[in-house]
Structure 1
């Protein structure tokens, strides 16, 4: 099949040109902004220095010092706009403002009342900005907003005549910020010329680069080249499954990272170009590469269970020439783990549905008693419900668990066990003081052990078929740990070498049972899928427990004359202590 790729709307050279112009424009814009900001700051500093010079000149005048000192001693009621508008300070300040081009020249007394101001209506009023620095004998410059607008200003003290330490007022001079911004105009033209030249040079460079690239790539657009590389990477190396390409003469042509992870995780060899029969890879690959088609078939590779399938590869065309085989290797371990967690969730869902049905029935009973005005019987019925729990599961003493996840899960399992003629019970040594914080891992481990125990009890010869589970949470300085013990009434584990699944009779059955692919159970009736057998669950839950720092092991292999196998599990970090204050204390009824 020929794959049709969409043609890009713009050629690569056009996009390079637009990108280059955009980059140049952005650089010029940032540079211009920075230059304008620095120039504006420089002009503002110059305006502040100019305002300071004018303010010092005004404040040092003897007439200003004398008149300011005289008005500073006058009562505030005498400082009215009418009395100050034609005074010597107002006339002198306005003359200075017009002569210097200042935005304003303001003179105040030692309390901040205006003695001279461009707006005569504001004379005798308090200044809008803080004069404390100048009235304290200091000088300051700033850029601030006042009644007349934003300006670069300076404030200096006015001393009494003949006394350089007695401050009788202050002089404030400012130059408008609009004048400062207007002075930026002469600097814009050189910047605009520089930007235009940069854009022209960028356009020329981009055009030359696009022409050169088209010649080097034989007219192919970058999207087309990238698509070819992506297809090859995705098909040969970009999949999670193991992909092994084998030529017609048996040589490995492709060996991706997925295949290395599943089949040779500790090897650093480059398998490309090596004959398959000399590579040291598992022998079932030779069988997969030999026939026309192979699998899917389940095999054990190290500590993993993999599914192997092989298909021939032929060249498209009239001759359909054979190119070799592609062997696909998929990891079933992760699928089994997800399946086990899904089974746990389904069990919890079944328990919740049963609780809902039972709860509805009990509500109908209470409603009927209340309709009959038999409140006492309704109260006794509710008390009995509270003492017996939300649902009567076949498993007794579920209240010993003290955790809703465990109660619902084991309760649901007890219903399943009862349907198969097995009694699921809680061991007398069960002690749960905390609550489960990771129900998925707990139900995955516990569910596998319970399923195996129920199956063993069903297939056992004991007249009374039972499964017993004990749980204990342990809180120490090292952390919280959940301990599980599951026993059954089955026949126990077979002796070493009794199963056809193992050729090594020296291996202990209590360890062999955790090997991937080993199973003591027959296939489920009606299962037609060759990859849906047994022999993975115990290996998975041991891997899960050891990943958390715990373990799963056989405490007692059991025998047909005593009891079935006893499995133990230790799961750190899946429980948490319940604070004492969080435990409700029942009130005493009168």
Structure 2
């Protein structure tokens, strides 16, 4: 059981993904090297065939033999082409008359027959792949000129089979390089796995996400409670000072107004009996945080809203991060500054969570990236940036819900499945 747990850990999953990527990269490297070797072999064959054909076409002996008649040309040139074929590493050299009748050939039985291939209509060199008596081959045909007049042609070729055989010596190099790339990638994956395990231990990926969610929940609750404590502390100090100055009525009015504002939100929270009490406590703290930052706060909670299927930790992460982003945007935006939170029943017994703000909005070019891990439109601080929204999206989608962004005003809308109430 312990071994199965390790194999499902986040570190092992990262390792498996990296190894899969490395293996694919290794295979692609080998394929690309083989294709490049094949291309290089073909280019080399084209270069050699052109060079041999041009050299023979320029020889005075070849011109003289072609002008002396087919029989004399065969007797003089066949031994020459056989010797050059062996020494140049080509498969055939065919010399022919101007109208394409062979006077030399690798198979003497083919002499006197018409050349199989393309004879250019103008006296120019041409390289092509053509299937002749020896099968598919890469060949270059060059005209033999005598005073500007075509007296014959020289065609030199290398069969495709021969080109393929030149790849065999290069395969070990390609495989060796691919194995080296794979080995280096696996070593890198092992290092990443070790580093990941230092952070996550043997926790499964879901538990790592839950740990991050718990941290975010504690952080946002802590900030809310700190703001609430700070606001109440300021008001209490002010009330005490007013009492010491003998201005008791003003002190009573201040405390009454404070109680009235808090009680209004408490009434809304407690009216939603099926709701999450942890989220209710969070909203009370966020109201104080908004007041501290000079942002008008409005919370609309439908008492008929069912409870979501999220755990208390995940619910606080979703609501807290959405509100934190809205407060940051509103506080940095133009006046009037406001944040509006809405909790209402959705379709088919679901729950709709909406957070809107008066900020400047999210630029069109970055709207598709705001849910990417590590991406943020705000500068990083000691707590880091680019974690909240990706975490919210992951939690919502894992619960079977959806999260979307609307503009003008900026509004995040999360639709979550509701929990059946006994």
TM-score range, shorter chain: 0.3 to 0.5
TM-score scaled by length of structure 1: 0.36
Report the TM-score, using the length of structure 2 for normalisation. Answer: 0.48
Name the structure, 1 or 2, with higher relative contact order (CA <8 Å, separation 6+).
2
